[in-house]
């Protein structure tokens, strides 16, 4: 929770400071954007591959809602800077593929993944503000704070015989990453606009804490399809 609060405060500082920073740009427009989407992890790392070998499910099962608050300052008719923050939390139930308990029941646990980000990037619109539809592309990078939990029953295979135990396993960290995006914006009157976009992020970090030994890296990359409203001021 403290990491998430840190990201939110960082985003708030960016949103508050960016208008003052942009005062030197003649005619700059300011836009506040609220975005809701769905994030799907890719799971392309040693940790995710090992889980798929031992348990049901895969990283994509953690697909869930993401929300974002963004501030864009348009420096020219077609180019702007985007300061953004987002929150995502997904969970899925998993069980051992090849093992059951003495009663023949599944040995299960819940996997949870949280990612909070604070990023800055550039956005290029292919049409000016007067266009009915404004396609755009963008790219940027920033800080990605994450937390992984596995809560439930597990098997200890060393030393034999195997023993089932209950545990809450946790790991968290902060990593730098980057993103690419593309979408379109539809102006609604002089101040409001609707937008829809796709975004892909690339982030990877080392597992620590309860996952420090032999679990390798965790891939936090994934795709996010979202939409929202923008207000110009």
Of 82-86, 100-104, 212-216, which range is least confident?
A: 212-216
Give whichever of 45-49, 100-104, 195-199 has the largest mean pLDDT: 195-199
Buried/exposed 69-90: b ≥16 CB within 10 Å, e otherwise: bbbbbbbeeeebbbbbbbbbbb
Q: How far apart are CA 2 and CA 158, in angstroms?
A: 35
What pLDDT, on the 0 to 100 scale, is given for residue 77? 92
> 155 is written with which tokens?
């098997």
Cis preceding linkage at 56, omega within 30? no
Q: Which domains does the chain have, with CATH numbers?
A: 2-90+117-145+173-232 (2.40.160.20)
The answer to whether the beta carbons of residues 167 and 202 sit under 8 Å apart is no
What pLDDT, on the 0 to 100 scale, is given for residue 67? 98
Residue 160's pLDDT band (cuts 50, 70, 90): confident
Q: How far apart are CA 111 and CA 178, in angstroms?
A: 25
Tens of pLDDT along 57-96? 999 999 999 999 999 999 999 999 999 999 999 999 999 9
Return phi, psi of residue 110, to 5°: -105, 130
In the 8-state DSSP scheme, what is residue 55?
B
Beta bridge partners of 230: 33, 193
Residue 165's pLDDT band (cuts 50, 70, 90): very high
> 13 is written with which tokens?
């500082």
**How deeply is 98 buried, as exposed, middle or buried, from its count of CB atoms within 10 A (0-12, 13-18, 19+)?**
exposed
Q: With H, G, I as helix, E, B as strand and everything else as coil, classify residue 6.
A: helix
The pTM is what?
0.86
Q: How far apart are CA 211 and CA 205, in angstroms?
A: 12
Q: How far apart are CA 143 and CA 157, in angstroms?
A: 37
pLDDT over 90 at 21, yes or no: no
Which of 204, 200, 202 minimizes the C-alpha distance to 180?
200
Q: Any long-range contacts for 162-166 (C-beta under 8 Å, 24+ apart)?
A: 162/99, 164/101, 164/107
Which H or E element spans position 74? strand 64-74
Tens of pLDDT along 177-195? 999 999 999 999 889 999 9
pLDDT over 80 at 101, yes or no: yes
> What is the residue whose two structure tokens read 């023949």?
104
């Amino acid at each position: 929770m403290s990491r998430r609060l840190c990201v939110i405060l960082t985003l708030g500082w960016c949103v508050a400071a960016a208008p003052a920073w942009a005062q030197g740009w003649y005619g700059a427009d300011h836009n506040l954007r609220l975005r809701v989407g769905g994030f799907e992890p890719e799971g392309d790392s040693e940790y995710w591959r090992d889980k798929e070998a031992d348990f049901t499910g895969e990283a994509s099962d953690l697909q869930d809602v993401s929300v974002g608050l963004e501030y864009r300052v348009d420096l020219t008719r077609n180019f702007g800077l985007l300061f953004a923050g987002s929150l995502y939390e997904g969970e899925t139930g998993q069980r051992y593929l090849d093992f059951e308990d003495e009663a023949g029941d599944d040995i299960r646990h819940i996997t949870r993944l949280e990612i909070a980000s604070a990023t800055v990037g550039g956005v290029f619109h292919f049409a000016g503000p007067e266009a009915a539809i404004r396609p755009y592309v963008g790219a940027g990078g920033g800080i990605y704070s994450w937390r992984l939990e596995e809560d439930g029953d597990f098997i200890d295979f060393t030393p034999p015989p195997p023993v089932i135990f209950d545990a809450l396993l946790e790991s968290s960290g902060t990593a730098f990453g980057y993103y690419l995006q593309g979408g379109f914006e539809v102006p609604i009157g002089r101040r409001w606009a609707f937008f829809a976009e796709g975004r892909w992020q690339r982030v990877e970090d080392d597992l620590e804490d309860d996952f420090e030994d032999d679990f390798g890296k965790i891939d936090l990359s994934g795709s996010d399809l979202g939409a929202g409203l923008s207000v110009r001021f």
